Structure 1
Amino acid sequence: MARTATRTAKPSLVERRSIDYIPDAERHGSLRSQFTLWFGANLQITAVVVGALAVVLGGDVFWSVIGLLIGQLLGGVVMALHGAQGPQLGLPQMISSRVQFGVYGAIIPLVLVCVMYVGFSAGGTVLAGQAIAELLNVGNTSAILIFAAIVILLAGLGYRTIHAMGRVASVVGTLAFLYLFASLLHGHAWATLAANRHFTPASFLLAVSLSASWQIAYGPYVADYSRYLPKSTSPLKTFFAVFSGTVVGAQVAMTFGVFAAALAGDRFAGHEVAFVVGLGATGAIAGVLYLTIALGKLTITTLNAYGSVMSVAAIITGIGQRREISGCTRIAFVILTVSVSSAIALAGQHAFLKAFSSFLLFLLIFFTPWSAINLVDYYCVTRERYDVPALFDANGRYGRWNGVGIAVYVLGVLVQLPFVATGFYTGPWVDRLGGVDISWIVGIVVPGALYYCATRFARSNVPEQMILPEAAGSIEAR
């Protein structure tokens, strides 16, 4: 009777939960919201910039679009497999890393994830600030501070608000990009763009790497936004809802970036926001486009801020052996992370494009091994049989440190170094491969295979069935 009452009660606008398990009585939402969230989150100006990089850095139109699509599909599979874990575990994504790394050991990838959130948020804040500055006729610094305040408010409200934003962003983004494509291609034949092709392996694989890294970088927090779905939700349907939303949204935005860079050249690179809005001429349409750019960045930056709270909370609770954090602490973490990313945006707003490109590609080194280990463990080793209460107990089934998982992760990072080609670092084997960066492929295959081989015969920590907190002392099967 109590559970029924909980289900039928009007939910609060402010989220109560943090990193703790979501009980069945509080589950809600639909697969459609998974599609709209990730579709809307990808229909934004930063994805346009990433697509444009494929041309700005030497690619053609035809093979850049094909390469970006292949990268979307490959990276989207990794990303959506993480998303399918949410309804089954009822937990934020990175908590499950405690199975592979130990309760304390999971802090290693968690710290790196926090760096990722801050970096992505800073890059997006630069572009959002440009749009808000033009929309409200204020300086860039004021615009960035206004944007940060709105992000803090929305991330503080939490899960429901974020999904509502995704629905709005998907509708607004669709209408905006239909208009932008029509304006951009007016007077230009599709055949002319498609004829722009000069295939080189390096440029093609760069396009693949750009979009694959874009998708893989979502992996550490994608389950944060599916964990409230009912446990009965089909993992396969969850996978396809997330996969289709993120792949279609990102490919549309990146394809626009390819076309814009090819047609506009220097008028686009370094002036992305001004160029996009310039397609709407002046007046009301220009204002709507500025608003659309700001809304798109608001959606994804709120995702980053919310995800950062989950990661910081996972670190703090892992050390302190707690299951959750208070509402005030959650808000404090939101303010802290948004403040840091905004400070970086203010400091680096004039050198955005080159720095963001290098940052995006370099992220692959740290997150492809984590994704490979997490997915191999969940789907192939433990086969979804987790002891959820033990994830919060350093003296429990998963222990403080998992030497095997940590060692494979470190090897997974190191084995990529000879193949890395970024502004931060270039490996010694890159020239032998014609300048092609294949580190992300190595970073998925090698640690995934090593982890499977190292753990397939050591399954003493794997329960016979998934154990959930609601079981109240008994084992509850999924």
Structure 2
Amino acid sequence: MTTRKTKNAATIELSTIQQISLHERHGKARDLFTIWFGANIMLLTVVTGALAVTVFGLPFFHALVALIAGNLIGGVFMALHSAQGPQLGVPQMVQTRGQFGSYGSLLVVLLVVVMYLGFFASNLVLGGQALHGLYAPVTTNQGILMVGVLGVVATVFGYRLTHAYTRVMSYLSGAVLLLAYIWTLFVHGLPADFLLKNQATVPGVLGTISIAALWQLAYAPYVSDYSRYMPADTGARAAFWASYWGCCLGSILPMILGVVIGLSVTQGDVVAGLIEMTGSIGVFVVAVFSFGIAATNAMNLYCGTLSALTVGQTLVPKWSPRAVSRLLMAGMLFAISLTLALLGQHDFMVNYTNFILLLLYVLVPWTAINLVDYYLVAHGTYNVASFFRRDGGIYGYVNWTAVNCYILGILVQIPFMSTALYTGPVAKAMNGADISWLVGLTVVSPIYYFAYRRSGHQRQLACAAANASLVNQGGVR
């Protein structure tokens, strides 16, 4: 029977990338709803929603449909990853060794660390600018530092404190979001030409869908980090739906607010527009949403730290990093993100848009390979002990099938890419429409499945034998 422990949220988490044993498991599926709902109601989500009308130039209803569609599509992949946590009890990037091999996984893990640094830096900039807007004597640089320190503190305490923080923010941020809608729509009011602004374009619609889908896909590399402590009997279905609706609703609602703000202000400053349109409660609204940034930043830094520790443990398999290692690594990653934030704050919107579009191209083939392998090849069964061996155990040093499919997944997207840095020939022919992520998913998923079906069967036989041996020796997965 699974033991559900209850501890204070301020208890420092001792584990890092190790498999969570059954007696340490705790929590319920509803905790996955609150962590993703609470973590998404923040300023960066509002700003991302505003991109639909400020960058992609869509009118209100087209922006609304595109954002909802993108989130609902991307949320499927995010939630499928979340459902893996209770089954395996390890961080997502450790589990990636089961597809790519011990050294082969480093290709993806290092890219994911870069992703965390980018999101952490983006949140630092936005949080610093918001604090400066709320209280002018606090400079943007000082605000960046303050928001960053909060993230480091939460990372030090780890899993429980982050869950508790986002649980509180689910209620607080949710109530404030509702209040912001009421004030914006009925007290301040919308401009007379609100529904007449902008013109719908195919590139704009596809670009907005892509941005919203990526918002969800960006959680894929670490979503199971926050479900790995869940009891093994939580169930994949319960974990899926709690994560799906928590993340989708928590993203869609503030993104729509961003659309409203973006169409209502003339200067394009979404944070300033939010303060203006919420009047006397504007300071309170932005303050609460800024606390939401701190919660999400803690999650980015926490998971970035686990991924960086995964790299270290791959190179030094005998090393089993614990809480002190997490603290030291978090400090190093914070220093890098702080530097990025201080240097890139003046071109924030341009840098942020380019960053998340580039992320799309490297995340899509990985998520396709991981999900096909987990659900269609391995059927959720892995030999976790092999994840922590230098030679990869039954998964080997490098799974060239996965690595080659991953590289192929990036290459096939190039003609369909549409960014400020590069636009592929097919995207140009489609007037800038970006469907690269759809192409990547469509190509990689079947190729990986058929290429690995036979060897995957052989691997499963080896996995069953290894797991049976572990049980006979008295081990508990």
Q: Structure 1: which 5+ residue stretches go unaligned?
A: none
DSSP-derived class of the 2:398 partner: coil
**Cross-structure match for 1:170:** 170
DSSP-derived class of the 1:238 partner: helix
**Cross-structure match for 2:400:** 403
Q: 1:471 deviation in Å?
A: 3.9
Q: 1:7 deviation in Å?
A: 4.3
DSSP-derived class of the 2:442 partner: helix
Residues 121 and 338, structure 2, Cα contact 8 Å, conserved in 1: yes
Q: How does 1:410-429 map to 2 (within 5 A)?
A: 410-429=407-426
DSSP-derived class of the 1:79 partner: helix
Of residues 42, 53, 56 in structure 2, which corresponds to 1:55?
53
**Cross-structure match for 2:364:** 368
- Relative to 1, partners in 2 of residues 1:347 and 1:196: Cα closer, same or farther, differing over 3 Å? closer
Q: How does 1:52-131 map to 2 (within 5 A)?
A: 52-57=50-55, 58-131=57-130
Q: 1:469 deviation in Å?
A: 11
**Cross-structure match for 2:307:** 311
TM-score normalised by L of structure 2: 0.93
**Cross-structure match for 2:143:** 143
**Amino acid paired to 1:326:** R
| 2:321 pairs with 1:320 | no
Q: Structure 2: which 5+ residue stretches go unaligned?
A: none
Of residues 385, 395, 412 in structure 2, which corresponds to 1:389?
385
- Relative to 1, partners in 2 of residues 1:7 and 1:243: Cα closer, same or farther, differing over 3 Å? closer
1:184-227 C-alpha deviation (Å, 9 max, x unpaired): 22364799756768432211111100100111011000000000
Take 1:188 and 1:7, find their aligned partners in 2: how far apart are those partners? 49
**Amino acid paired to 1:60:** P
Q: 1:287 deviation in Å?
A: 3.5
**Cross-structure match for 1:253:** 254
Of residues 270, 273, 280 in structure 1, which corresponds to 2:271?
273
**Cross-structure match for 2:228:** 227
| 2:26 pairs with 1:25 | no
DSSP-derived class of the 1:20 partner: coil
Take 1:244 and 1:447, find their aligned partners in 2: how far apart are those partners? 27
Identical amino acids, percent of aligned pairs: 36
**Amino acid paired to 2:345:** Q
- Relative to 1, partners in 2 of residues 1:447 and 1:95: Cα closer, same or farther, differing over 3 Å? same
Q: 1:10 deviation in Å?
A: 6.8
Q: 1:229 deviation in Å?
A: 0.3
Take 2:32 and 2:321, find their aligned partners in 1: how far apart are those partners? 26
1:89-120 C-alpha deviation (Å, 9 max, x unpaired): 00101111101110111000000001100111
**Cross-structure match for 1:244:** 245
Q: 1:293 deviation in Å?
A: 2.3
**Cross-structure match for 1:132:** 131
Take 1:471 and 1:143, find their aligned partners in 2: how far apart are those partners? 53
**Cross-structure match for 2:37:** 39
1:136-175 C-alpha deviation (Å, 9 max, x unpaired): 5311111111222111111110000000111111112111
- Relative to 1, partners in 2 of residues 1:262 and 1:343: Cα closer, same or farther, differing over 3 Å? same
**Amino acid paired to 2:161:** T
Take 2:74 and 2:65, find their aligned partners in 1: how far apart are those partners? 14
Take 1:8 and 1:225, find their aligned partners in 2: how far apart are those partners? 16
Take 2:475 and 2:329, find their aligned partners in 1: how far apart are those partners? 35
Take 2:468 and 2:234, find their aligned partners in 1: how far apart are those partners? 16
**Cross-structure match for 2:451:** 454
- Relative to 1, partners in 2 of residues 1:471 and 1:14: Cα closer, same or farther, differing over 3 Å? farther
Q: 1:239 deviation in Å?
A: 0.2
Residues 77 and 217, structure 2, Cα contact 8 Å, conserved in 1: yes
Take 2:199 and 2:408, find their aligned partners in 1: how far apart are those partners? 37
Take 2:193 and 2:466, find their aligned partners in 1: how far apart are those partners? 56
Out of 409-418 and 273-282, give the one that drifted further.
Answer: 273-282
Q: How does 1:323-342 map to 2 (within 5 A)?
A: 324-342=320-338
Q: 1:297 deviation in Å?
A: 0.5
